């Protein structure tokens, strides 16, 4: 049984970054516990508040955000945090070395129906200057600057998927000892796939290239792509990406014309960048459909972006439709 801290030590992760990851896991264990209790913990249903995106928050959105926020701002290695659920960034310890960005509960619309949700996090080095942790400009680094990224999937078991730039490993929460232990090492995404994930209810709003790609997938063996595809949709990015890491696939949340001025639905800093680091460390590809997500220069902490990620050959194939 190899525990998380042993893998971090083996991979040469410094003590400050190990401490930050450890504190994130403390909060995630508590979130997992509350999810396991469901109605018994009084965390189902919606709150009376909206987040900065104008979305009604689930009760567990608020609880999860507060847990992560409290533990991280008290960590002396964290200069500041940014959350999908917070209007503004929050200062931590002035001398802290790291910035932590997170989506406290991805897929929260699944909570009340007892389906998979997750916590996504991204860790950046704080600039070596005198700016405070609540200065939003210090967070506006592209995804290549991430020193670690991961998510915890809360399903039948709680699984941590983590990269510190040396591949992707899976850790499963052993509830008897209260720790995450290594269960799969150096995970790789198959380059080819016959499985795609997309919200088909938005099809009429997509650009023509995306419509053509999906139509060709649906045409099966007799269509231009000459193979039968399966479609999946869980409405939780964590669950979609985890399936791709386990058996391959392509996940897409493309630009659509409902709100033309918004480049996509998913958030670059809280979802796009950390998931891109994980996918590319596992040998996959993650793009906006036209460029690598981690090469996008962020202009705001709540910036959105289109997402197309997964099995490398399939992502490149889908990108070709958009270029055409």
Q: What is the pLDDT of residues 98-142, one digit of tens each?
A: 999 999 999 888 878 888 999 999 999 999 888 999 999 999 999
| pLDDT at 39 exceeding the cut of 90 | no
Domain end among 128, 149, 184 = 184
Exposure string (b/e) for 104-139, b if CB count within 10 Å is 16 or more? Answer: bbbbbebbbeeebbbbbbbbbebeeeeeebeeeebb
**216 and 81 share one domain:** no
Q: pLDDT tens digit string along 9-37?
A: 999 999 999 999 999 999 999 999 988 88
**214 and 147 share one domain:** no
Count of structural domains, the chain: 2
Burial of 191 (0-12, 13-18, 19+ CB in 10 A): middle
| pLDDT at 47 exceeding the cut of 70 | no
**271 and 244 share one domain:** yes
Percent of the chain whose pLDDT exceeds 70:
94
199: annotated binding-site residue? yes
260 or 137, which is more confident: 137
pLDDT for the residue numbered 263: 85
Three-state secondary-structure class, residue 98: strand
**205 and 166 share one domain:** no
pTM above 0.85, yes or no: yes
**218 and 71 share one domain:** no
Beta pairing partners, 181: 3, 172
- Retrieve residue 284's tokens: 């996959």
pLDDT for the residue numbered 48: 46
**140 and 225 share one domain:** no
| pLDDT at 177 exceeding the cut of 60 | yes
The mean pLDDT of 221-231, rounded to a whole number, is 96
Sheet strands (E) in the chain: 46-50, 56-58, 78-83, 90-91, 98-106, 117-125, 146-154, 158-163, 169-174, 179-184, 195-197, 230-232, 250-253, 266-267, 285-287, 304-305, 307-310
Conformation bin of residue 233: beta by default, left when phi > 0, alpha when psi is -120 to 50: beta
**179 and 82 share one domain:** yes
What whole-number distance in Å separates Cα of residue 86 and Cα of residue 69? 10
Instruction: Flag the least confident range among 50-59, 61-70, 289-298.
Output: 50-59
83: annotated binding-site residue? no
30: annotated binding-site residue? no
| pLDDT at 169 exceeding the cut of 90 | yes
| pLDDT at 299 exceeding the cut of 90 | yes
Q: pLDDT tens digit string along 192-218?
A: 999 999 999 999 999 999 999 999 999
185: annotated binding-site residue? no
- Domain housing 134: 4-184
192: annotated binding-site residue? no
Percent of the chain whose pLDDT exceeds 90:
85
pLDDT for the residue numbered 149: 98
| pLDDT at 52 exceeding the cut of 80 | no
Residue-averaged pLDDT of the chain: 93
* DSSP sequence for 120-146: EEEEEEPPSSS--TT-GGGG---GGGE
108: annotated binding-site residue? yes
**CATH number of the domain enclosing 298:** 3.40.190.80
Q: Is residue 29 part of a domain?
A: yes
Q: Is residue 189 part of a domain?
A: no
Q: Is residue 190 part of a domain?
A: no
271: annotated binding-site residue? yes
| pLDDT at 50 exceeding the cut of 90 | no
Contact of 75 with 19, CB cutoff 8 Å: yes
């Amino acid at each position: 049984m190899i525990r998380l801290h042993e893998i971090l030590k083996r991979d040469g992760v410094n003590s400050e970054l190990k401490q930050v990851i450890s504190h994130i896991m403390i909060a995630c264990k508590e979130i997992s516990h509350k999810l396991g209790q469901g109605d018994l913990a009084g965390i189902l249903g919606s709150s009376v508040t909206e987040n900065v995106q104008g979305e009604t928050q689930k009760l567990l959105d608020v609880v999860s955000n507060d847990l992560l926020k409290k533990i991280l701002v008290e960590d002396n290695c964290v200069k500041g945090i940014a959350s999908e659920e917070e209007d503004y960034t929050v200062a931590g310890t002035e001398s802290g070395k790291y910035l932590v960005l997170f989506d406290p509960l991805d897929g929260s619309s699944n909570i009340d129906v007892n389906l998979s949700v997750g916590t996504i996090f991204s860790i950046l080095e704080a600039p070596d200057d005198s700016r405070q942790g609540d200065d939003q400009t210090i967070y506006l680094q592209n995804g290549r600057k991430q020193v670690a990224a991961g998510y915890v999937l809360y399903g039948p078991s709680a699984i941590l998927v983590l990269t510190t730039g040396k591949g992707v490993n899976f850790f499963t929460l052993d509830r008897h000892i209260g720790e995450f232990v290594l269960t799969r090492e150096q995970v790789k995404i198959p380059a080819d796939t016959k499985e795609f994930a997309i919200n088909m209810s938005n099809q009429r709003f997509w650009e023509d290239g995306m419509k053509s790609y999906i139509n060709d997938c649906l045409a099966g063996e007799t269509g231009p792509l000459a193979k039968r595809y399966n479609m999946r949709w869980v409405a939780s990015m964590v669950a979609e990406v985890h399936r791709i890491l386990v058996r391959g696939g392509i996940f897409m949340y493309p630009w659509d014309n409902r709100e033309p001025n918004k480049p996509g639905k998913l958030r670059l800093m809280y979802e796009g960048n950390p998931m891109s680091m994980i996918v590319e460390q596992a040998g996959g590809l993650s793009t906006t459909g036209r460029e690598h997500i981690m090469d996008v220069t962020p202009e705001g902490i709540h910036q959105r972006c289109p997402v197309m990620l997964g099995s490398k050959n399939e992502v490149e194939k889908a990108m070709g439709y958009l270029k055409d």
